[in-house]
A and B are shown apart, each in its own frame.
Chain A
Amino acid sequence: MAPLVSLRGLRVAFDGVPALRGIDLDVMPGEAVGLVGESGCGKSVTWLAALGLLPRQASVTGSVLLEGTELLAAPAQVLERVRGGRIAMIFQDPASSLNPVHRIGTQVAEAVALHQGLPRGAARAEAKRLLDQVGMPDAARRMDAYPHELSGGQNQRVMIAMALAGRPELLVADEPTTALDVTIQAQILELLTELRRAHGMALVLISHDLGVVAETCERVAVMYAGRIVEEAAVDALFAIPRHPYTKGLLGALPPIDGPRGPLASIPGGVPDPSAMPPGCAFAPRCPAHVQACDVAPPALLERDGRASACLLAA
């Protein structure tokens, strides 16, 4: 099967400082991929870059193919049809991601009108149907509410309704539950999974929460300092992590039973993006570090249906 979206050698730099250092990632139609890593590793930047949503001072190179169509440097009209129409995106903080001066019904209807070409009245009706579908309580009345009158979870439902308006083939959810409390978090994740099944939509879930990804995704890519360091099916990755960074992340999860002890962590910090080590970016913190690690960044190599970027993991 051909991938829906295919990122190749995607690089982003802000004012010459690299943020993404070559991302290769395929998303198959209908699959759920998790993208994990700590803040600043480039998870969000990857998809903002793919959709051309980064500020102008960002330089983006490489290739982003959507079923064979190159999106990087595509004309604005092409990108506008892709955004929301084929690839939709929702964000971390739903309250500030919605326009404070427009009613939520209007904001959803705007997306409907753009992608389904419906006249005003029909677009509103469709917006109401979408709000019902994402489980907005009392949707008809809430159509006229402003974002500040809704809770965080309700606002995220509005964002999801808006994302569904264009019937996209891929939904990129950028930390969709980070700003929400735990019960709401579970509801939103369940909603995303349900909608994905119902619409046959692919999902990229960006998260720093391994539990969230394990529950929602089929495949997971671990990012570190602007690169993917390991990629595997969720079960395989959690059962036997191959990259030392992934091992460190899983090791940092507090055990649910056993005696209470200090939380485990990976020693050291992420390298400064403007002064990356010449070899593997994780080498300075890596317990398995050998001299060869400092020569060149290891490539993401595939073995038994999974991949990792580590000399020792092969």
Chain B
Amino acid sequence: MLRFILSRFARAALTIGMVVTFAFVVLRLSGDPAQIILGADAEPEAVDAFRASWGLDQPVWLQYFHYFGAILSGDLGRSMRDGRDAMTLVLERIPATLLLTLPALAIKLALGIPAGMLAALHRNSFLDRAVMALAVAGFTVPSFVLGLLLVLVFAVQLGWLPSGGQGTWQHAVLPVITLGVGGAAVLARFTRSAMLEVLGQPYIRTASAKGVPWGAVVRGHALPNAAIPTVTIIGFMVGSLIAGAVVVESVFSWPGVGRLLVVAVANRDLAVVQCVLLLVAATMVTSNLVVDLLYGVLDPRLRSR
């Protein structure tokens, strides 16, 4: 068990290292930050001075070496735009993002899991077909389309809710719904198929054959087994709490991490982009790690290995 955990930790660290490296390479290759930040018609001397002050005049491998060393010592660099600490810049956006993604996650779980279970338990009924039709619609409509549609109806036509920005709880309603619907649809489909798979297993028939009432068969025998595959997808959703709202934050001009990332990429603000990516990778990797450990809790067959 300890070896299992240690190997998972090592793999997590390796993944984060690779993400950081990848981000570094791609950003260096995709344009000169000095030109973009200072403008195309900046004086050559100014550009050179900018490069020198940010170390961009050094060979790439040396930059990478410095950059990686700094990360290991906890220094993620400063924004090239306003010179502020990149980490602080990113961290102060996190609460705003969580304000959208946490309620959205709650919607996904509260809507998706029961809907998927209901559909599975009433397989091929009208209810099943209705739930699945909604689910297909829910995850095939892209979030920017759904977001704009909601704005059109509830902000423009009905005028009930604001179309963007941050301030009151009403501002969060449309982005939260936009985020939640797609995830709930995915989760509903996943829960349904996990549930159907389990309901077809011989041990479900055994439970019925020994006289367990159907409700208790579903709760006590089907659910704990169906939870195992479902946890994987929930893990992904938890992992994307920080960076899962890039599009929606842009649509609703919500000042979260996603907005920050979009702006930072456009500006080639290297330190900020790298910091966001590092954070995203870290949350995704952590949640995958937790999922792996949860498997062991949920499935005794994995525990003894």
Q: How far is the CA of A115 from the CA of B209 in the complex (A)?
A: 12
Q: Please give me the residue from chain B that is nearest to A163 by CB atom.
A: B210
Q: How far is the CA of A97 from the CA of B208 in the complex (A)?
A: 11
Q: Please give me the residue from chain B that is nearest to A98 by CB atom.
A: B203
Residues of B247-291 at the interface with A, using a CB-CB cut-off of 8 Å, are none
Cβ of A214 to closest chain B Cβ, rounded Å: 27
Q: A88 to chain B: which residues have CB within 8 Å?
A: 209-210
Tally chain A residues at the interface, Cβ within 8 Å.
Answer: 34
Binds B, one of A76-84, A117-125, A226-234: A76-84
Q: Please give me the residue from chain A that is nearest to B201 by CB atom.
A: A96
A146 touches B301 (CB 8 A): yes
Residues of B170-193 at the interface with A, using a CB-CB cut-off of 8 Å, are none
Q: B74 to chain A: which residues have CB within 8 Å?
A: none
B210 touches A146 (CB 8 A): no
0/1 per residue, B203-219, Cβ < 8 Å to A? 10111111111100000
Q: How far is the CA of A28 from the CA of B109 in the complex (A)?
A: 52
Q: With A93-B202, A97-B202 as given contacts, are A114 and B225 in contact (CB-CB < 8 Å)? A: no
Is A288 in the interface zone, CB < 8 Å from B?
no
Cβ of B152 to closest chain A Cβ, rounded Å: 43
Cβ of B119 to closest chain A Cβ, rounded Å: 15
Q: Please give me the residue from chain B that is nearest to A82 by CB atom.
A: B211
B225 touches A80 (CB 8 A): no
Q: With A100-B300, A101-B225 as given contacts, are A80 and B203 in contact (CB-CB < 8 Å)? A: no
Is A53 in the interface zone, CB < 8 Å from B?
yes
0/1 per residue, B93-136, Cβ < 8 Å to A? 00000000000000000000000000000001000000000000
A97 touches B203 (CB 8 A): yes
A101 touches B304 (CB 8 A): no
Cβ of B17 to closest chain A Cβ, rounded Å: 36
Q: B197 to chain A: which residues have CB within 8 Å?
A: none
Q: How far is the CA of A76 from the CA of B215 in the complex (A)?
A: 11
Q: Please give me the residue from chain B that is nearest to A110 by CB atom.
A: B212
Residues of A145-201 at the interface with B, using a CB-CB cut-off of 8 Å, are 146, 148-149, 159, 162-163, 165-166
Binding site for A on B (CB under 8 A): 124, 201-203, 205-214, 220-221, 224-225, 228, 298-301, 304
